[in-house]
Structure 1
């Protein structure tokens, strides 16, 4: 008996082609895995408006800070990059990061022991995460934020990343208050380290899910190390970075449990999209761990309540830890890590200002006299250190 066979239609051939791309190979354990950092051609195309807004806001805040600093007028033209006029930088001997003066940081909302304890200006906890010590610090911070932030926003969406970013910045700033000194400090790295911590928790929680995970771990450690080393420079608070990292790590387990791993690809893209329906279902089961989320949420709330209460009570852990200052500062010839209150004797003669440090007897002559008291204190700190 002769069996007639019908010719395959174009629809049948197309569906067969699509299935061949999405069906994992039996016995291949890597068929349902995906790379942690994808190539640009394989990334999910989503808007990254949150990272764009954060980058723009930080640039605007830095520009406003430099405008308020006004080195050309307040420092009588003794500035770096004088061609920038009002937006020129303080001398490198005063701020090696190409940024404003210490008094400007204090005016713009940097953390400062006297302001927090004596004046009770707790609002500085919200303003310090938006400040940068200088142009170098801004560029490094923004470059790291763009690399990490775009990846996280594309993978998990803007809402959850915004929650992690802002909460990590606040908790990191509160953590820095516990170690704050009479030297203005800024906490712009706390929010970024929150994203780093969240990225690490996402990788650790789904270690068996990703390919090239060791390379991803090396990238995370490298970025964290570079930004942490920058925290040893003046005005940058490393304790805020530590607090932000811990917060982001815990919040990553709480919020990053349903990653947006895939969109339905067009048929011709084929192997560029490595996620299939079987993998998607399996991922939802693996990410749904409510006990872990509850424990991390309780730990985060406990840390937030603890640092908030300690900050309101004016707790200063530097009094109980003499070596803690070296986590935030490395002493050099240019600056000191000691928490001393500087005072200088002023002498004006022949349009010159002579400041003599009362602590060590050092003095320095400046070729101008018409400067503010805040600027005089900046110069006194420079002389004494």
Structure 2
């Protein structure tokens, strides 16, 4: 079965619901910025959703289950014609075949390394294994991404999304060399990691800091723990999360707010805001770690290295064998 990235659960911001059934405090619950700020109009995240849905339609059109399965025998939702899904024994997520995904840009180590198709590190982010995979990822993107884009703008969130997605793809290719992988989960975990680093680097401007940090850590731990189930590409999750976490210190730091209020200055007064010293330190440490990590990982990947040779226990990060299931070698 293909290595899909579909285990992230949606989080409802407006109704204070959960991301994987853990409440994330919003502004109404005390997790808020001490002063109001400009809100951006979110348009990039909706466009990414539209692009992913459009790409899935194109994939299903090309897949053409009836033709490739010699008729409708075995195809799911046969009334959809050439858009019907592969038999459930091939793809239980209601989607195309692995061959179609591979043809259209799914991530595979051999093609990236030996056939010099590095573009697959990006193209795989826009492909999904099925309707269920697509639905879960897009709901997660809407509930997480729109909030971040409203606060920080489309440029920074767009960079976070793409860099995190590539980071997840690189780590996945290093450790899962026998499978193919598709999905936006690495990019989504990058946004989740950026939420954590944003909270840490802007620590002084939030209320109820400890409660917000604890809730966010529990939420992250549950999401990563679910990734140890079989057939889930947890390396993409981890790579995306680490990339987004580091990049969040670089892109999402805020100037020191509250200075105007403490000095009782009027709204129209010009105030020179400054960054806290710890923000500057975290900025340079995170930037150096991010650049070094990408350089090392990419060099190892294109030299054909197998990450499992350098970390024997790392295979358990993506699948833990139990009496109920086995993990691939």
TM-score normalised by length of structure 2: 0.76
Q: Secondary structure at the match of 2:181?
A: coil
1:64–1:291: structure 2 CA closer, same or farther, 3 Å change rule?
same
Q: How does 1:28-39 map to 2 (within 5 A)?
A: 35-36=30-31
TM-superposed deviation, 1:144: 0.9
Distance 1:207 1:101 in 2: 46
Contact 1:194 1:244 in 2 (8 A): yes
- Give how far 1:239 is off: 0.7
Other-structure match for 1:172: 168
Deviations 1:324-381 (A, max 9, x none): 4443346699996324xxxxxxxxxxxxxxxxxxxxxxxxxxxxxxxxxxxxxxxxxx
Tell me the matched-pair count: 290
Q: In 2 relative to 1, CA 93–284 (structure 1 residues): closer, same or farther, beyond 3 Å?
A: farther
Asked if 2 retains the 8 angstrom alpha-carbon contact of 1:97 and 1:135, the reply is yes
1:49-91, CA deviations, whole angstroms, 9 ceiling, x for partnerless residues?
Answer: 1111111111111111112211122123211222222111122
- Residue 148 of structure 1: aligned partner: 144
Q: Residue 57 of structure 2 aligns with which residue?
A: 63
Cα 1:298–1:238 shift into 2, 3 Å: same
CA distance in 2, matches of 1:193, 1:223: 9
Picking from 262, 280, 293, the partner of 1:303 is: 293
Using a 3 Å threshold, how does the CA distance of structure 1 residues 231 and 296 change in structure 2: closer, same or farther?
Answer: same
TM-superposed deviation, 1:126 = 1.5
Judged with a 3 Å threshold, the aligned counterparts in structure 2 of structure 1 residues 332 and 155 are, in CA distance, closer, same or farther, namely same
| Structure of larger gyration radius | 1
TM-fit CA distance, 1:217: 4.7
Q: What residue ranges of structure 2 are gaps of 5+ in the alignment? A: 1-28
Unaligned runs of 5+ in 1: 1-33, 262-274, 340-385
What CA distance in whole angstroms lies between the structure 1 residues aligned with 2:158 and 2:48? 10
- Counterpart selection for 1:204 from 200, 203, 224: 200
User: Separation in 2 of the partners of 1:116 and 1:146?
Assistant: 30
Q: Is 2:188 the counterpart of 1:192?
A: yes
Where do residues 6-155 of structure 1 align in structure 2 (5 Å cutoff)?
35-36=30-31, 45-76=39-70, 77=72, 78-155=74-151
Q: Of the two structures, which has the highest relative contact order with CA contacts closer than 8 Å and spacing of 6 or more? A: 2
Whether the 8 Å contact between 2:77 and 2:84 is mirrored in structure 1 is yes
TM-aligned CA distance change 1:55 to 1:233, over 3 Å: farther
Equivalent-residue separation in structure 2 for 1:92 and 1:230 (angstroms): 22
Deviation digits for residues 111-161 of structure 1 (CA, Å, limit 9, x no counterpart): 223323332322211111111121111111111111111111111111111
Is 1:292 matched with 2:282?
A: yes
Compute the RMSD of aligned alpha carbons.
3.3
Contact 2:126 2:183 in 1 (8 A): yes
Q: Is the CA contact (8 Å cut-off) linking 1:173 and 1:187 kept in structure 2?
A: no
**Residue 305 of structure 2 is aligned to residue 315 of structure 1:** yes
**Using a 3 Å threshold, how does the CA distance of structure 1 residues 320 and 46 change in structure 2: closer, same or farther?**
closer
> Is the contact between residue 36 and residue 216 of structure 1 (CA under 8 Å) also seen in structure 2?
no
What's the CA shift for 1:188? 1.9
On the 8 A contact 1:152/1:161 being kept in 2, the answer is yes
